[in-house]
Amino acid sequence: MIENLKEHLQQLEESHTGMEVRMSREKLDEILAEDFFEIGSSGYMYDKKECLETGVVLTKMKLHNYEIYPLAHDVVLTTYFLVDTTRERNTLRSSIWKFIDGKWQLYFHQGTITPLQLNSIMSSL
């Protein structure tokens, strides 16, 4: 499918958390699968329609410790540590990406606020 799948999905994940995609309804619509849903770090659940209509949080975020776990030839679980400098908090994230109609799309996403700091995550590697 894609030779460097981890790099490709990380780029998609970084674009999904980046301001350019988050500020563009069209770009967000393209990256989210039709049946996308999310359990936000707030504990609330959202679907694609809600994300497109109400928008998503606009914060400056940086991914660390990105890993992929293939579940099937067209489904991949990803995990990472995210530092949100705007809201001054850290979260553990997971996403499920599906290969749909010739491209990878975000099917599921979850964020969990953590007291862990980046230095503790990096030192445990």
pLDDT for 9-22, tens place per residue? 999 998 888 777 76
pLDDT for 34-43, tens place per residue? 999 999 888 9
**Furthest CA-CA distance within the chain:** 40
Overall pTM surpassing 0.85 (yes/no): yes
- Buried residues in 32-50 as b, exposed as e (16+ CB within 10 A): bbeebbbebbeeeebebee
* The token pair that represents 3 in the structure block: 């030779």
Work out the average pLDDT over 98-124: 92
pLDDT for 78-93, tens place per residue? 999 999 988 889 999 9
* Inter-CA distances, 2 with 11, 62, 72, Å: 13, 24, 14
> In this structure, are residues 52 and 25 in contact, taking their beta carbons and an 8 Å threshold?
yes
Which pLDDT value is given to residue 39? 95
Which pLDDT value is given to residue 16? 81
